[in-house]
Structure 1
Amino acid sequence: MRTRSGPRVAVATALAAVLALGTAGCVAIEESGADPSPSSGGGGGNATAQLGELTVASAGSMKGYSRSRFPHWRSTGKNCDVRDTVLERDGRDIKHSGCNVVGGSWESVYDGRSFSDPSDVDIDHMVPLANAWRSGADEWDDKKRGDFANDLDRPQLFAVSASSNRAKGDQDPSQWKPPSQSYWCTYAEDWVAVKHHWELSVTSAEKDTLADMLKGC
């Protein structure tokens, strides 16, 4: 029996092809969302590669160090600053007075504690200022140190519990880790991402600890 191959078949074939392309296009659009959070190391494998590129050196001297050598928090206009920006980014149900953050809810990624008063929340530098000083920032000018202290583009600034921030102090991961072990992978990735971007060194103990933490990613 002869099979029909007239215009209807051709049109149907063409329509099927168009629908297939349209579906593929929708999937591509739906999957290409932007993440508003700061860039991290990009996964354990990438962070491990970045860690391997860091200079290993003994911790430098604290001579000449002062937090004032890392000017922060920079103004973001209308009496607001980078601290307000981080509080708003990391919190929920934010309340403002002008553009100052005066209320909301925050959960500290370091220890899982929750807060509703911004005065109970600290803004932690993933790589502490004093650690950066000992890792090469002592050779920067104050403008560059200010860029580091106010860096919103890397995973450098986080709203966390005051107690965890103060327990951490200026210690590296070989000396202090977040109480929430489930956060260790992200913590190591973020630490490496910051040090890699700013070309800061790591101690041998710091590097070994980060490598172990990244194995869990």
Structure 2
Amino acid sequence: MRSPHTLRRALVAAVAALAALLPGPAAQAAPPGIPDADTARTQLDALTVAPQAGMSGYSRDKFPHWITRNGCTTRQTVLKRDGTDVATGANCRVESGSWESPYDGTTVASPSKVDIDHIVPLAEAWRSGAGEWTTPRRQDFANDLDHPQLLAVSASSNRSKGDQDPADWQPAAAFHCEYARMWISVKHTWELTVDEDERAALDEMLGTC
């Protein structure tokens, strides 16, 4: 007859084995196309440094979003990509889940309190060259799922950032490296300019990688 200690050890082992067979929470996916630090530095060196243009004529309506593709809006798609244990209902509506906000290190448990941030804000893009684009190109930029331009973050951190560039606003220090790589990649992909202070801030942030 087995001793209680032996039975307890057998039970613990059996529970552990069963747990290994069960699916765990889905891992949070990263936005696509984030370059490594060396590539990001090469891209930063290739960016045109120029003073920012003004805001004359700017409107968020000139960057139509969120558009629907494959039955889901861009916002819904990013919520599903960046969240853990995301549950959806009719018409791709995101009903529940959990989101880790890298800007401030908080966990958000309600989709209504999650913002989808444009890494390079729309107004910043306007000042950096997008004011010369067509509306269809601005729509593509505002809904870009192929590059690291969209990220689920806490609404409070997104409000804090506003339309500021890295010279004036930066996320939590632990996210400096990745944020700089994402920002640089977007500006490089979309052929947007950087100003001198912005470039210096990005160079400093890359130094944390």
Offset, 1:127: 0.1
Deviation digits for residues 52-87 of structure 1 (CA, Å, limit 9, x no counterpart): 110111110100000000000011244x30000000
1:192 is aligned to 2:184: yes
What SS does structure 2 have at the residue aligned with 1:205?
Answer: helix
Distance 1:192 1:37 in 2: 14
Deviation digits for residues 32-54 of structure 1 (CA, Å, limit 9, x no counterpart): xxx874111x2111111100110
* Matching residue of 1:212: 204
Unmatched 5+ stretches in structure 2: 1-28
Distance 1:164 1:113 in 2: 10
- Match 1:157 to one of 150, 156, 165: 150
Alignment of 1:129-140 (within 5 A): 129-140=122-133
Query: TM-score when scaled to structure 1?
Result: 0.81
| Matched letter for residue 39 of structure 2 | N
Offset, 1:97: 1.2
* Matching residue of 1:43: 36
Structure whose CA Rg is larger: 1
* Matching residue of 1:167: 160
* Matching residue of 2:74: 82
Kindly, what percent of the aligned residue pairs are identical? 54
- Match 2:108 to one of 110, 115, 122: 115
| Matched letter for residue 74 of structure 2 | V
| Matched letter for residue 174 of structure 2 | S
What SS does structure 2 have at the residue aligned with 1:165?
Answer: helix
* Matching residue of 2:12: none
Q: Across the two proteins, how many residue pairs are aligned to each other?
A: 180
Unmatched 5+ stretches in structure 1: 1-34
* Matching residue of 2:25: none
1:105 is aligned to 2:77: no
The structure 1 segments of at least 4 consecutive aligned residues displaced by more than 4 Å after TM superposition are: none
- Match 1:201 to one of 172, 193, 196: 193
Offset, 1:163: 0.6
Q: What root-mean-square deviation, in Å, do the aligned CA atoms of Structure 1 and Structure 2 show?
A: 1.2
